Amino acid sequence: MKFYKYLGLRILTWALTILIGVTFIFFIPRMFPSDPVESMIGQMQARSGQMDPVAMDALRSSLRLQFGLEGSLWTQYITFLWKGLLHFDFGPSLMSYPTPCSEIIARNLPYTVGLSMITTIMAWCIGNFIGLLAGFRKNKRSSKILEAIAIVIYPIPYFIVALLLQIVFAYLLGWFPLQATIQYSNGTGAFITSLLKASVLPAMSILLLGTGWWIISMKSLSATTSEEDFVLYARYRGLSEGKIGYSYVFRNSILTQITALAMSLGGVFNGSIMTEIIFGYPGVGTLIQGAIMQSDYNMILGCITISIVAIATCTLIADLIYPFIDPRIRYS
């Protein structure tokens, strides 16, 4: 009974979080000074010359209907919740009209998820392992050196690390392409090879800074836990350092890190915008940048709605598995 009550409250929180988030991103783009329909009509006129006023009005009405801009704000909002949030139908993209936004997002999403999710999980594992050693054995020289390296790397702005990697490994050494170039038409082998080469530098940039943060946070948590009375008691009982480190320090320190990992995994493609812009990587971050530049309401709504749902869902999953990780937590 307690589990179902706990589950119901968490699902309610999940639904409210998504509703509030998508409400904000629905109204914010409509505050932009530009109108996507007028922008598209202007592009058509620039290519084909002056249009008949009657045909232009008919085209304008048709486009406003397709882009979900017909009717009052309340009508547009309800339509968006029904079609966009519940069915992930965001309408056509202004940038690639008349291709549906959902089709473009589905085509670009695997690149972003593959790159960001793998590097985030790798950084989490490596950083927590090193951070645990640095916090649990904080008086050893190796732990102090690892912590110092992490403290030096983490505050460096991301774009500086990315540009340095480009200069050294792409421009000077020529080992990797300066901008991502993926070969789609030369067979599966060429596609995989070009994709891996294009992903190395973006992955390294995310991994370096991500690992630094996990080392610092886990070191702080494990160092604090190591001073707790139950850890001192375990030492008095004569338990091995490995047993104390895993069963007492690690299991009590990792809970906060799992929450942070869930948030990181949920927002993998939001944090990839700068990565994809710098390295020219074909992902959702690039779509968001282009959509903002061209006032593509539908693409903005589509990308960020999926991000909100992903973050909320990952947080919900983390909440539900807490009791399996930490025996102090119960479904109550």
What is the structure's pLDDT at 6? Answer: 76
What is the structure's pLDDT at 176? Answer: 79
Number of structural domains (the chain) is 2
Are 270 and 139 found together in one domain?
yes
What is the structure's pLDDT at 191? Answer: 73
What is the structure's pLDDT at 330? Answer: 62
What is the structure's pLDDT at 328? Answer: 62
Long-range contacts of 16-25 (CB under 8 A, 24+ apart): 17/308, 17/312, 17/315, 18/85, 18/308, 18/309, 18/312, 21/308, 21/312, 22/80, 22/81, 22/84, 22/85, 22/301, 22/304, 22/305, 22/308, 23/77, 25/300, 25/301, 25/304, 25/305, 25/308
What is the structure's pLDDT at 267? Answer: 61
Are 279 and 188 found together in one domain?
yes
Give the Å distances, CA to CA, from 133 to 144, 230, 326.
Answer: 10, 19, 20
Are 271 and 221 found together in one domain?
yes
pTM: 0.72
What is the structure's pLDDT at 166? Answer: 82
pLDDT < 50 regions, the chain? none
Are 193 and 307 found together in one domain?
no
CATH code for the domain in which residue 224 is found? 1.10.3720.10
Are 80 and 115 found together in one domain?
no
Are 71 and 168 found together in one domain?
no
> Strand, helix or coil at 67?
coil
CB count in 10 Å sphere of residue 281:
23
Supply the range of the domain harboring residue 242: 102-293
Are 93 and 106 found together in one domain?
no
What is the structure's pLDDT at 114? Answer: 80
Are 170 and 289 found together in one domain?
yes
Are 260 and 310 found together in one domain?
no
What is the structure's pLDDT at 315? Answer: 78
Are 283 and 158 found together in one domain?
yes
> Strand, helix or coil at 78?
helix
Tell me the β-bridge partners of 92.
Answer: 100
Are 108 and 195 found together in one domain?
yes
Are 286 and 331 found together in one domain?
no
Each residue of 274-294: pLDDT tens digit? 777 888 788 787 788 788 777
